[in-house]
Amino acid sequence: MPQVDIKIGTQEKSFQCDEGENLLYEATTRSIMIPFNCTSGRCGTCRVRILEGRENLSEMGDREALRLGDEQIEKGFRLACQLAVYGDVQVEVPQPKLY
Ligand code: FES
């Protein structure tokens, strides 16, 4: 069963889910708040950075690639609403810059 570790600011949350489940759905049903809006890869609100386990996630589709753009993809970002989890992953929810 894949383990998902999520870093949100100074907090770290973890859960296990069935293989192939959606990362955003699994997190939010456990009250782990990854910001989201459309849930269809259009708005970009659910952006997360993959720290480990990139190979354990579903491949990036055209819509996700278009929304993120090359620069964010190179920095390791994905859209949580588009991610199916197939193995252990560690992700970080970016925090707004206050200054
Ligand atoms: S919630 Fe809009 S892109 Fe994921």
Q: Of the candidates 38, 37, 2, which has an alpha carbon nearest to the alpha carbon of residue 19?
A: 2
The answer to whether residue 23 is domain-embedded is yes
Q: Which residues pair with 78 in a beta bridge?
A: 48
48 lines ligand 1 (CB under 6 A): no
| pLDDT tens digits along 7-57 | 999 999 999 999 999 999 999 999 999 999 999 999 999 999 999 999 999
Q: What is the pLDDT of residues 45-89, one digit of tens each?
A: 999 999 999 999 999 999 999 999 999 999 999 999 999 999 999
Q: 43: domain range? A: 3-93
Question: How many domains is the chain partitioned into structurally?
Answer: 1
CATH of the domain at 11: 3.10.20.30
Ligand 1 close to Cβ of residue 50 (< 6 A): no
CA distance 5 to 14: 4
Q: pLDDT at position 97, please?
A: 76
Whether residue 99 is contained in a domain is answered as: no
Note whether residue 37 is domain-resident: yes
Query: 22: Cβ–Cβ under 8 A, 6 or more apart, which residues?
Result: 81, 83, 84, 85
Q: Is residue 31 part of a domain?
A: yes
98 CA distance to ligand 1 middle (Å): 23
Q: Which of 82, 66, 62 is nearest to 91 (CA)?
A: 82
